[in-house]
Amino acid sequence: MGSPLSVDLLVVGWGKAGKTLARRCALDGRSVALVEQDPAMYGGTCINVACVPTKDLIVSAETRRATDDPAEYFAAAVADRDALIGKLNAANYAMLDGLATLIDGRARFTGPKEVTVDTADGDVVVTAQNIVIGTGATPTRPDIPGVDLPGVYDSTTIQHADPFPRRLVVVGGGYVGLEFANMFQHFGSDVTVLDTQDTFLPRAEPVVAETVRDVLTRRGITLRGGTDVRGIRHTADGLSVRLDDGDLRADAVLLAVGRTPATAGLGLDTAGIATDRNGFVRVDEWLRTSVDGVFAVGDINGGPQFTYISLDDYRIVWSQLCGAGGRTTADRIAVPTTTFITPPLSQVGLSPDQARQAGYDVLYAAEPVARIATMPRPKIVGDVEGVITFTVDAATRKVLGSSLFCIDSQELVNLVALAIRTGTTADELLNGIWTHPSSTEALNEVLAALEPYAR
């Protein structure tokens, strides 16, 4: 038997929900232990390998000049990325150091309320009144011959691609694949995106999907739908991606086909913790697992895989442990999303077709950014690409949804999300007094173009 430790709260995994909950509970006077198997992941996926580092690289890529050598510029951008992430990683560790017992090692359940951690100094057995699982998810490795070859990357490893890929094939046409395709095109790669689906961005409104496709293809990215990858092999000049209709040559391949829950070795069966058919931990709307006192937060519970959802998971569990217990996942209304292509694509709420299926009489507007006279900011910054759409309830004129493919959309979408949550009408946004010049001014024009939706 290893060294024993008994605490009020044990958090397994240093993600957004877990680290925030650990810190707040420790400040509240509770005994807390936090386990992380990889010191490079202090702070969680977002700050170390996902949201923050990738957006840092995107900003660097967008500012590359045509005269900058792609390989040299990419290497410098990666160095800047690493310096930033090193600071954030250390800052996250410092936020909990001295407040909680921090354990480096691999955790596995050896009972419903007991976890054994394999550390460099031997096993540590931790028992806790409450346990929070927050081990996240990892990039999926599809069952394709050659996926383990050098030069085949996932969304984490490609951030340090070496050598710089002059020819990049992206397998997967979803939002992650498109972000990296856009990024590497700006860095100077010749990019081809392969997607098994025939329809490009099938969950986006047709006018939005078509506008995104047009922007990316005019920029030089090749988009191929209805395409299955049969295998990857090495050749004398790099990699060859085998398709049904021939082979594609590449210097590197990015696999962007989803994420897999990080449950391997956790011993969930030993604890009696149920998972779904895809391996995600089953939770109810209070994020409770099948074992009393054990919660699952963040990507591991199969919910939307966003850092801000993980933060809301923390609020829900905190409500269970220390509050009134009323907060649930059902409280989430109008959750916005942003895909950081150029310009960013942000979406929230219902599309017009979804709204009509839900029983609404729909008003709809879709305006190309370049034609919005009241929105000069895109012209000022030199990016007039995109389209802005709004879906509105004809009876009440409340905003139901919006797609914003435009500069600053990652900020503007939050205002629209708040409008949906608070029942704000299109007229209030239309007649709002907004700063000038700003992207928000688009509301003064786009919402004036609402018409009955017919499709």
Which residue's entry shows tokens 């009440």? 396
Catalytic residue among 160, 186, 234, 436: 436
Which distant-in-sequence residues (6+ apart) come within 8 Å of 343 by Cβ?
369, 378, 383, 385, 386, 405, 406, 407, 408, 409
Q: Which tokens is 85 given?
A: 């992430």
> CB count, 10 Å around CB of 40?
12
Q: For residues 393 and 420, give the distance between their C-alpha atoms in angstroms, rounded to a whole number.
A: 11
Q: Which tokens is 48 given?
A: 């170390």
Q: What one-character-per-residue DSSP string does 200-248 give? A: SSTTS-HHHHHHHHHHHHHHT-EEE-S--EEEEEEETTEEEEEETTEEE
Q: For residues 376 and 441, give the distance between their C-alpha atoms in angstroms, rounded to a whole number.
A: 8
> CB count, 10 Å around CB of 78?
19
Residues in the chain: 455
CA angle 15, 17, 22 (to 5 degrees): 90
Buried b (16+ CB within 10 A) or exposed e, 311-325: bbbbebbbbbbeeee
- R_g over Cα of the chain: 24
Q: At what angle do helices 70-96 and 16-27 cross, to 10 degrees?
A: 30
Q: Which tokens is 42 given?
A: 């202090």
Q: In the annotation, is 234 catalytic?
A: no
Q: At what angle do helices 175-187 and 70-96 cross, to 10 degrees?
A: 130
Are 176 and 183 in contact by the 8 Å Cβ rule? The answer is no
Are 329 and 47 in contact by the 8 Å Cβ rule? The answer is no
Q: What one-character-per-residue DSSP string does 394-442 give? A: TTT-BEEEEEEESTTHHHHHHHHHHHHHHT-BHHHHHT----SS-GGGG
Are 364 and 426 in contact by the 8 Å Cβ rule? The answer is no
Are 131 and 6 in contact by the 8 Å Cβ rule? The answer is no
Active-site positions? 436
